[in-house]
Structure 1
Amino acid sequence: MRDLTMKRRLFLPACGVALGLLALTGCSSPDPSFYTLAPIRGTPIPGGPKLVELRRPGIAGYLDRSEIARSNSPYQLKLNSAERWGEPFGDMLGRVLAEDLNSRLAGTSVFTSAGAISADAGARVEIDIQRFDADAGGQIVLVAQVAITRDRNRSEPITSSLRLSETPASGSTADYVAAMSRALAAASERIASDIRRVSGDVAS
């Protein structure tokens, strides 16, 4: 009888530990999925300076995080720890925007100030991203301010405001990120046009 009682005393704590481990296993978070914006090639058009420096983009604070930020309403953000960017958001924006610009400016090399290259550029581009997420209708909205300076003569910058939108193909995160990539590529079209205009002003 004493042996049976001892076995019960040993069995009950062991069951508790096993159940606790099962509960922890069942409640563990799934491995996160990592996403990245992708450059989209455009039509190369000549007319820009030989070198263009793209400064590291300024970004709104709510975008400066590893999780992908989505808007639930004008006053609420949705963050999912299982859906993350594969690199710091500002660095990724600069890298992809530089590639977008390079494919649209024939004869021009665009480099980022965050990289290892340092050179005397014919133009400098600064961009401040104020919004980059979906609106209440599900469209990706990109709102930004852009300034382009001719470093050669330190003239006043040419400034412009951008507001662009793209519709994701579905509600999936992959399509959400793809729509963001298209919006950034559309922004690069406008910026490339302004760079060519600045270069033409210098030539004249």
Structure 2
Amino acid sequence: MKRRGFSLLLAASLAGCASPAPRYYRLAAVPGATRGGDARRIGVRNVGIPGDLDQNSLARPGNAYELNAYANDLWAAPLAAMLQTVMVQDLAQRLPGDVVLQDGGAIGAMPDVYVEIQVLRFAPDASGNVTLDAQIGVRPVSTQAWKLQGFSATAPGGGTPEGLAAAMSTLWGQAADMAAGLV
């Protein structure tokens, strides 16, 4: 009898130690100003991100020399892949007269124009403001003449995972506005 009581007590105490279930977040396309389009096929290539952003967890506000992450708040997909997918959605909304394709996706049509993005920084600071620093390159497939533009913007993230994902979506939409203007 004592053994059974001990087993129940042990099971109850271990149940109290279980960590909370993870919550998954994703970036979302945000509306922007629409532009015409020339029936081009625009290929959004893989988005480059720094190694410190290549992780499952959402970055938590911290100082310039420290990378913090939420323990149970995770990205629903790898961040670089999610950024590419959302950029395709953002550009398709902004350029309704063009076809925007995800490079490396199921449709292997050759694009007329490539869009390439290198993210340099995309994280919250100690006050919860999210900064996106990126380089955006656009070039027709038929030439090596690149249009290159730096992008830098900050949005309030509030210091919560939901606020962070919303601020990142907003900033990524602003980067899409710039990319649409370069196309």
Determine helix, strand or coil for the equivalent of 2:46.
coil
The runs of 5 or more residues in structure 1 that have no matched partner are 1-9, 196-204
Could you tell me the percent identity over the aligned residues?
A: 30
Q: Deviations over 1:117-173 (max 9, x none)?
A: 112211101111111111233211001112112102x223221111111113x4332
Distance 1:114 1:69 in 2: 27
Larger Rg: 1
1:93: which partner in 2? 83
1:46: which partner in 2? 36
Q: What TM-score comes out, normalization by structure 1 length? A: 0.83
The answer on 1:130 being equivalent to 2:109 is: no
Determine helix, strand or coil for the equivalent of 1:52.
strand
The structure 1 segments of at least 4 consecutive aligned residues displaced by more than 4 Å after TM superposition are none
Distance 1:92 1:145 in 2: 17
The runs of 5 or more residues in structure 2 that have no matched partner are none
Distance 1:167 1:65 in 2: 22
- Map 1:147-162 to 2 at 5 A: 147-152=137-142, 154-162=143-151
Determine helix, strand or coil for the equivalent of 1:72.
coil
The answer on 1:181 being equivalent to 2:173 is: no
Determine helix, strand or coil for the equivalent of 2:10.
helix
Distance 1:114 1:45 in 2: 25
Q: Where is the helix percentage greater, Structure 1 or Structure 2? A: 1
1:22 deviates by 1.9
1:73 deviates by 1.1
Distance 1:136 1:172 in 2: 12
Distance 1:20 1:132 in 2: 44
RMSD of aligned Cα (Å): 1.6
Q: Is the 8 A contact 2:61 2:128 kept in 1?
A: no
1:49 deviates by 5.5
Query: Which amino acid is 1:160 matched to?
Result: Q
Q: Is the 8 A contact 1:149 1:157 kept in 2?
A: yes
Determine helix, strand or coil for the equivalent of 1:57.
strand
Q: Is the 8 A contact 1:143 1:163 kept in 2?
A: yes
